[in-house]
Structure 1
Amino acid sequence: MTTWTEGITDRVAALIAIPSTADRPAELQRALDLVVAEAGPGLAVRTFLSNGKPSALLHPPRHPGPFRVILNAHLDVVPAPPSGFVPRLEGDRLHGRGAHDMKAAAIVLTDVFRELAAELPYPIALQLVTDEEVGGADGTAHQLAEGVRADFVIIGEQSNLRVVTESKGICQVRLTTTGRAAHAAYPWLGRNAVLMLTDAVARLLAAYPVPATEAWRTTVNVARLETPNRAYNQVPAEATAWLDIRYPPSDPDFAGRTAEEVAMHLSRVAGVETTVDSIGPPHHADPAGPFVRALRAAAGTTLLRKHGAADARHYHALGIDAVIFGPGGDGQHGPAEYVDIPTLRPYHDALVTFLRTFDG
């Protein structure tokens, strides 16, 4: 006889096996179709498509919204070699790309929705998106622009069964330097754009040093340095750096600022031309609010702050409380990613208890 754990492990493995990355639109659709099918019959399924990214909103036909609670799951993953999409079970750990971020949670959220949606005395929806890893503009944000609303949102990102009420904002930036080309044998005749760029990066890292340990402050990751120069014996005349900046709600240089204001600030610090390609606000939910207190009570857990951004920020921007609440595991976006299978049942049960008992 198949146990609950064995059954859900097999279904999560089937979803992991779909390489649902941003550059594979057919696989994004296949992952979405699989999870919609998992939700079962008798539901209203509203489909969306924005810039090639499909998403869906499922709800009981009699409750078209707005919703009391939305359960949100993203089905896209970051790229991996083919072996990353071959799920493997090692003891209590199921490995594979997306196991922890967040295909296991997606299956559990779908199960809970299927079990309870028809019986709850208030409207609930399941929101399935396929673009969270590339910013969420065409999934969660697009659905919100189309009028989807809720009083409270649970996003199944990994949290080891803790409730995340605060997460950092994200800012993706390019620094650009322009020097003067010259023969490499006579470097004094040119101006090396790469050296100008590394000096600018050093100034930024001096202002926002890389922490030695976990710290709730602004961090800068240098993701890429490049130049169009293709010759050893030429002083490069152009160079560009890609930066990923994560900032807490308390940082006045980023929080509440426009892209233009942030670009001006970073240009002053770095001393070079700065372009903000994207900026997403931090996320905060009231830890003393009735929804958060009820979820914490149902899970018997504590609060957590997360350094990574998630689709919760799109709800926060509209004044809607959203939290991250997901199972345990580790290694997301890496070769050893896994979900901790023994946390899936407590995760399921906490969600069921919250949805059945909340009356705030």
Structure 2
Amino acid sequence: MTRLDLTADPIDLCAALVDTPSVSGDEAVLAGAVEAALREQAPHLEVLRTGDAVLARTHLGRGSRVLLAGHLDTVPIADNVPSRRDGHLLHGCGTSDMKAGDAAFLHLAATLPEPRHDVTFVFYDCEEVEAERNGLGRIERGHRDWLVADLAILGEPTNVGVEAGCQGTLRVEITTTGRRAHSARSWLGDNAIHNATPVLQRLAAYTARDVDIDGCVYREGLQAVRISGGVAGNVVPDACVVTVNFRFAPDRDAEAAQKHVREVFDGFELAVTDLSAGALPGLGAPAAREFLAATGERPSAKYGWTDVSRFAALGIPALNYGPGDPNLAHTREEHVDTRQITEAVDVLRRFLS
């Protein structure tokens, strides 16, 4: 069985996490190692295993609670396990997204027995796949009390900057129709793909908003991400589907985002296929202000959707903060600058102690 030394240099701990494969749906071995290590090396914590998620928390009677959360799973391995080192760079699947953040949190769990805030650690499964499998959802349904906090920090890679809130995401399919005909006698038909031209014209003419919330500027975007239609090379198509993705600022809720997109494409058949609300920055919360002071960083908007949205929906201010470059996530070249792991541990230790 894999044994993790949580008290070791967190860089070595990160390498050990990477060397224990944990592709989404196959996190059991790593979850078992994390559970065993916490029970053995962090006796001051209450530990709970639920599925392939592992939770731990202090009970010190502090006046506030901070939650540190990181997912254990990775995307499929791309010939980049085991890890390898090159100077300050640690290469391997999950180094950036987000085993470097997990390593920082696990190291603190074992080496900070008397934090000034009570702390909950959440290491969960299936973040990289469809939302209904996400371990946080299962924890919320079965162990809601474990997700109570005054501030949640997700260890998503941010190059150890503070990224506040997140964008919402909406995906819709817009269908245009026509009439089939032989392409040699196209005048007898009505081309559904051609009938999608106004959809593309509206997208090309669309002006997206920039929205400043608490000093964080969220940039919206409305983009066609797929077009499908046609049945054969000699048939005028009678159906075409344009898939559109709307990334919206968190000042819009899910209902407002849908309303806006329906207005943009008024007159067309539209079906929502995916929708997740964003999260407001939450920078006014006392614990969030304390954390920003500890980092010395100016927060920026999070471009993309993260699980901070789940915490925001529970009324918990949430931030993204972790070592690693998000642009390297899911790539064959994924790596982390190990100096960022050290910095993240130092900043979080200063904040918590």
1:188 aligns with 2:190: no
Match of 1:316 in 2: 312
- Indicate how the Cα distance of structure 1 residues 6 and 355 shifts in structure 2: closer, same or farther if over 3 A, else same: closer
TM-superposed CA distance for 1:162, in Å, is 1.9
Match of 2:345 in 1: 348
Letter in 2 for 1:334: T
Per the normalisation by structure 1, the TM-score is 0.80
Match of 1:48 in 2: 50
TM-superposed CA distance for 1:298, in Å, is 2.0
Letter in 1 for 2:57: H
TM-superposed CA distance for 1:71, in Å, is 0.6
Letter in 1 for 2:187: W
- Indicate how the Cα distance of structure 1 residues 139 and 216 shifts in structure 2: closer, same or farther if over 3 A, else same: same
Q: Is the contact made by 1:136 and 1:311 (CA closer than 8 Å) also made in structure 2?
A: no
Letter in 1 for 2:235: Q
Q: 2:317 and 2:74 mapped to 1: Cα distance? A: 25
TM-superposed CA distance for 1:285, in Å, is 3.3
Match of 1:157 in 2: 156
| Secondary structure class of the residue paired with 1:32 | helix
Q: 1:245 and 1:28 mapped to 2: Cα distance? A: 32
Over residues 235-254 of structure 1, what are the superposed CA-to-partner deviations in whole Å (9 max), with x where a residue is unaligned? 2222323333211124xxxx
Q: Is the contact made by 2:168 and 2:277 (CA closer than 8 Å) also made in structure 1?
A: yes
- Indicate how the Cα distance of structure 1 residues 65 and 295 shifts in structure 2: closer, same or farther if over 3 A, else same: closer
Alignment map for 1:277-316 (pairs within 5 Å): 277-316=273-312
Match of 1:249 in 2: 250
Alignment map for 1:59-74 (pairs within 5 Å): 59-60=57-58, 68-74=65-71
The gaps in structure 1 that reach 5 residues or longer are none
The gaps in structure 2 that reach 5 residues or longer are 1-5, 211-216
Over residues 1-21 of structure 1, what are the superposed CA-to-partner deviations in whole Å (9 max), with x where a residue is unaligned? xxx999544432343345544
Report the more deviating stretch, 162-171 or 98-107: 162-171
- Indicate how the Cα distance of structure 1 residues 325 and 224 shifts in structure 2: closer, same or farther if over 3 A, else same: same
Q: Is the contact made by 2:253 and 2:278 (CA closer than 8 Å) also made in structure 1?
A: no
Aligned residues between the structures: 333
- Indicate how the Cα distance of structure 1 residues 222 and 134 shifts in structure 2: closer, same or farther if over 3 A, else same: farther
Per the normalisation by structure 2, the TM-score is 0.82
Match of 1:78 in 2: 75
TM-superposed CA distance for 1:322, in Å, is 1.0
Q: 2:28 and 2:206 mapped to 1: Cα distance? A: 43
Give the counterpart of 1:337 among 327, 334, 339.
334
Report the more deviating stretch, 104-113 or 288-297: 288-297
TM-superposed CA distance for 1:68, in Å, is 0.8
| Secondary structure class of the residue paired with 2:169 | strand
Letter in 2 for 1:95: H
Report the more deviating stretch, 27-36 or 297-306: 27-36
Over residues 267-326 of structure 1, what are the superposed CA-to-partner deviations in whole Å (9 max), with x where a residue is unaligned? 442342222222222212332432122212222222121111111111112221111111
RMSD: 3.1
